[in-house]
Amino acid sequence: MSERPFQARSPGLIRLKTLSSYLSATGLGFLAGLAGYSCWRLGFLPDLSTFLPVTPAARLTALDLPVAGAGLASYAVALSLTINRLGLRRSWRYIGASVILGAAVCIIGSELFGVDLLLVPLLFSGCLALLVVQVNRLWSLDRQIARTLLNSPVQGSDSRIAGDARLMSGLKLLNTVLPLNEAVVFDCVESNSMEAVARFKGSAPNTQDPRRNYVWREGIQLCQQAAAKGELLSQTTDGPNSSTVAVPLLHEGETAGVLLVRLASEFSADDAPLLEAVGSQFARNLKRDSFSRNPARTQRFSYFSQTGNKRKLDALNVLKALTIEQKCEAGTLAHIDDGVAIAYLDGTLALVNPTLLKFAGLTSAGALELDLFGLLNKFRTDVFDEPEIAVRRVLQTGVAYEGELNFEQKNQILNLRISLLRERQHEPIGIALYVKNLTSTKEYEKLKSDMISLMSHELRTPLTSINGFAELLTEDQTLPLQAREFVSIIANESQRMSRMINTFLSVTQLERKDKQEVLKIPLRLDEVVRETITSLQPVAKKKRIRLIEQPAHRIPPVAADKSLITQAVKNLLNNAIKYSPERTTVTVSTALEAEAVRVCVEDRGYGIPSEAKERVWDKFYRVVREGQEKDEESTGLGLSFVREVVEQHGGQVELDSVEGRGSKFSFTLPRL
């Protein structure tokens, strides 16, 4: 496969990030040590004698300044690297031991040797190093969270439909089920004021109504109350035939806006669930639209910014909204007639719809105890006896597995398909199972097969008798001339019906065959064309048609059934001869095109109207040309047979025709 299913992070990039973190910790530790040294030199930190009054300050000897600075910086750097390597939770024992050991050394050094080992600056530098390194680690994690949230697909989650269009669509939906006079969606901005973002008007309001402004102000006040209380509020206006409803648009406990609805009837409590459900969707739309309209300026300092953290919270809310909508999409699988299941790449089942549970003979509780292979084991048959191999091939190649499962005990035939689910056609994210019930289809095919067998026996036998007796009567010279003419018509029509039945049976039986049942051998199409032209030369000469073969060089063989391909070429040539005027030419060519070999039959006949080009390949279709009688000799099955044969061999048929100038029928087959 050309595309890589998994993308690993570059080892060089990982090493670079690790080195950068250690350099950052070293620098911060050094700065912490330097800060402790500076505070000691400036007298901001007390001496050891402050804590040990038994040791006179005069007896303590100060360290050399370079030695003191180096010691403080080294201790701070050591603590910084430790916490950077192990983290605060795993390194606190080592840090505590180092503090106790350092304090003991400083006290013993001051008591026995009279040297001030700078215990207080040492502890200060160490604590400062721990603080700045931990803050830096948290800041780095926050930047990663911000990049993941703010650069995720939530920013353009549904770019196909604008936010305003989604709101207007929702208002139109409400208008179909409720008698709306007016509906307005308000967005609650940060200043706690409300801004109208979508409006739908039902029956046109009376602009001269002096109460209109008063009603509007009342509606705004009702919206403010609904937003403050977080619950639906309604009030009657202008008598019992009109009411106003304010619905808070809540998402994750936060009010995103308010929906104001003015009804042309009294509000019924039965409509409250409908308004609240639509309001929840409006809230998700507002959150998503607000998030996409206000991109973050920078992510680097969002850890220290209230606006930046609010932005990340908005991103989480949008992700939750998308999750709710995706549950809605997944819920549609429960209402389809085919079985569907989705599994994660660890084998756990994400979804199994009721139809698939029925096929597997499981309950919802029983499916919870199964994984992917446990579910596939419910479909084991003689053909599908090793589900592990099928799943492994799907994961290795990315090509879907498809098989037909026959359960004779249950009198059931199922089609099973296992395919790989990808995110944006790249990284695999799951495995899908699709099961379709083919029992009725197979029964219909069997009925059709029985009918064809009946036709083959019951129609051919009387036609053979009719044709035989008609031929005997035509040879009887004692019959009157008119009677012999009628008998000749009977013989011709019975022969035509026999040809039609034979061709129909050939096409139908070919449709029923599996592609692998066609006997394929290496075959040179130029040789097939040459043999077919030779066999049809007498027919062409009788109509004064000239057959020409265009020579081709180095035509590779194809894998094909010789008898079927020969019959297909013969059908094309017969049609070209039949529908070409006298003294014209029919050209047959064979050519190599990329990975296929093309056979083309071109005539200078009447051509085919543009509206009939697609239908000429259909069974029983015959072209009716203006000013010409319908061709009674044609069965309308010849071209259908050609298409079935070519498609069974993995090829394609084509037609290029200009009415009045001729036609070019061709087909291609994959080369070996």
Q: What is the pLDDT of residues 460-473, one digit of tens each?
A: 778 888 888 888 88
- Mean pLDDT (whole number) for 39-47: 78
Mean pLDDT over residues 250-262, rounded? 83
Token representation of residue 108:
């013993």
Question: In terms of DSSP bridges, do strands 254-263 and 180-188 run parallel, antiparallel, or are they unpaired?
Answer: antiparallel
Q: pLDDT tens-digit profile of 302-334?
A: 666 666 666 666 677 676 766 766 666 666 677
Short-list 400, 362, 406, 370, CA closest to 385: 406
Q: How confident is the model at residue 57 (pLDDT cuts 50, 70, 90)?
A: very low
> Do the beta carbons of residue 326 and residue 409 sit within 8 Å?
no
Alpha helices in 337-429 (DSSP H): 354-360, 364-368, 372-376, 387-397
Domain 336-437 has CATH 3.90.1010.10: no
At residue 133 the predicted structure's pLDDT band, cuts being 50, 70 and 90, is confident
pLDDT at residue 665 in the model: 92
Q: Is the pLDDT of residue 495 over 90?
A: no
Q: Work out the average pLDDT over 521-530.
A: 90
- Segment of 4-13, 454-463, 612-621 carrying the highest mean pLDDT: 612-621
Distance CA 295, CA 315 (A): 11
Structurally, at CATH architecture level, domain 442-512 sits in Orthogonal Bundle (1.10)
pTM reported for the whole predicted model: 0.49
Does residue 204 carry a pLDDT above 80? no
Closest among 573, 565, 455 to 504, alpha carbons compared: 455
Instruction: Tell me the average pLDDT across 141-164.
Output: 60
> Residue 61: enclosing H or E segment and its boundaries?
strand 61-62
Type and span of the H or E element at 169: helix 163-177
What are the domain boundaries of the chain? 11-150, 159-293, 336-437, 442-512, 518-670
CATH of 159-293, one of 3.30.930.10, 3.50.50.60, 3.30.365.10, 3.30.450.40: 3.30.450.40
* CB-count exposure of residue 210 (10 Å: 0-12, 13-18, 19+): exposed
Does the pLDDT of residue 158 top 50, yes or no?
no
Query: Rounded to whole angstroms, how far apart are CA atoms 122 and 39?
Result: 11
Of 412 and 204, more confident: 412
Instruction: Please give the average per-residue pLDDT across 222-248, as a whole number.
Output: 83
- Give the model's pLDDT for residue 4: 40
More confident residue, 96 or 146: 96
Give the mean pLDDT of the chain: 78
204 or 342, greater pLDDT: 342
Shared fold status for 159-293 and 336-437: yes
Listed in sequence order, the residues at least 6 apart from 65 whose beta carbon sits closer than 8 Å to its beta carbon are 41
Containing H/E element for 257? strand 254-263
- Is the pLDDT at 634 greater than 90? The verdict is no
What is the structure's pLDDT at 668?
Answer: 92
Region of poorest pLDDT, from 11-15, 310-314, 442-446, 577-581? 11-15
Q: What is the pLDDT of residue 480?
A: 84
For the domain spanning 518-670, the CATH number is 3.30.565.10
Is the distance from CB of 555 to CB of 525 less than 8 angstroms?
yes
| Alpha carbon distances (Å) from 169 to 164, 195, 329 | 9, 19, 18
Residue 390 has pLDDT above 70, yes or no: yes
More confident position, 132 or 333: 132
Mean pLDDT of 18-42: 84
For 169-182, how does the pLDDT look when each residue is reduced to its tens digit (9 = 90+)?
888 888 888 888 88
Instruction: Check residue 305 and report its DSSP letter.
Output: -
Q: What is the pLDDT of residue 610?
A: 78
Q: How far apart are CA 615 and CA 641, in angstroms?
A: 13
For 561-598, what is each residue's pLDDT tens digit? 888 899 899 999 988 888 888 889 999 999 988 788 99
